[in-house]
Amino acid sequence: MTQQITVEAFSRSWPVAGKFTISRGSRTEAVVVEVHVSHGGFTGRGECVPYARYNETVDEVIADILTAGKELEAPDREALQKLLPAGAARNGLDCALWDLEAKMRGTSAASLLAISGLGPVPTAYTLSLDTPEAMKDKAALNADRPVLKVKLGGEGDLERLRAVHEGAPRARLIIDANEAWSVQEYRDMVPRLSDLGVALIEQPFPAGDDSVLADLARPITVCADESCHDRTDLPRLKGLYDAINIKLDKAGGLTEGAALLHEAKAMGFQVMTGCMLSTSLSMAPAMLLAQQADFVDLDGPLLLADDHRPGIEYEGSLAYPPVAALWG
């Protein structure tokens, strides 16, 4: 068998601007895997984020990418779907293949996906988990942003939300408990949320215990994150959630992410496009799906102290589509 493509994968570390904290812990750097796929004099790039929550490590993801690369005879995204399961490794390779195909054809990834009228979209801006006082101060600094995403963690969450609302009273809020709530906390919190500007609740319960949502009122949109990876999850989520969060690292790339978006919309779900803590190279392919999303959370580069140049351009909370020099 003649190897027709060359695949490189390596880790990169990008410093966080300060500290990023969720219910599972804190980070001061974003560790990503960058993927380069070369063929016919062209090179496509992708980026993925190995995530311990899904039993992924940097070394294992790199090994999976390189192994799959040896089995690809050509830059074939459909063949890739059968070589790797949904997850970070397939995402990095898949997005690099989209970038490569766009370069080889002299067009854009948006055109390949039949997306016209690509334009800027407003993104949420994330406030990481902290004391109510610190979160109020951070909210006040970002009070002009239309949507704030608030990381929560269980005990003390109502005080945190009240503080954020005081700091940014005009902002719509997305709240993300990262699987940290109990049923009683949900029942106690939900009646108070509308007055605090909350528009969406993301993954309140652990993914394996979310069937309780079938018996709980959902006056505010509830969105599946850890519970939704690819299209195979959708039938189970119907009746439990109102929306799904599409992250390319969960779906395994733009190929599955685009299919997931269309199928979810057809089933009546609202769609959120989200991201891991990562650079503009991760945001770029997700920006294509954001054109059709109800909620957008692609603020990863805004949380970092450094980024690719050129990267995604942000004008306040408005995120612009990637330039060809970055991706696609």
- The pLDDT of residue 3: 52
Which of 103, 138, 247, 250 is an active site residue?
Answer: 247
pLDDT band at 1; cut points 50, 70, 90: very low
- The pLDDT of residue 63: 98
| Partners of 148 in beta bridges | 125, 173
How far apart CA 297 and CA 273 sit, in angstroms, is: 6
Look at residues 277, 322, 256, 273 and name the one whose alpha carbon lies nearest to residue 53. Answer: 277
**CATH label, 121-319, candidates 3.40.190.10, 3.20.20.120, 3.30.390.30, 3.40.50.720:** 3.20.20.120
pTM: 0.95
> What is the tens place of the pLDDT at every residue in 250-282?
999 999 999 999 999 999 999 999 999 999 999
- The pLDDT of residue 259: 98
In CATH, which superfamily holds the domain spanning 6-106?
A: Enolase-like, N-terminal domain (3.30.390.10)
**Residue range(s) in the chain whose domain bears CATH number 3.20.20.120:** 121-319
- Would residue 247 show up in a list of annotated catalytic residues for this protein? yes
Q: Determine the average pLDDT of the residues in 96-107.
A: 97
pLDDT band at 186; cut points 50, 70, 90: very high
* Token code pair at residue 136: 């109020």
- The pLDDT of residue 257: 98
- Would residue 103 show up in a list of annotated catalytic residues for this protein? no
Residue 232 has pLDDT above 80, yes or no: yes
Which of 103, 149, 151, 250 is an active site residue?
Answer: 151
Residue 181 has pLDDT above 90, yes or no: yes
Residue 2 has pLDDT above 60, yes or no: no
Most distant pair of Cα atoms in the chain: their distance:
64
**Residue range(s) in the chain whose domain bears CATH number 3.30.390.10:** 6-106
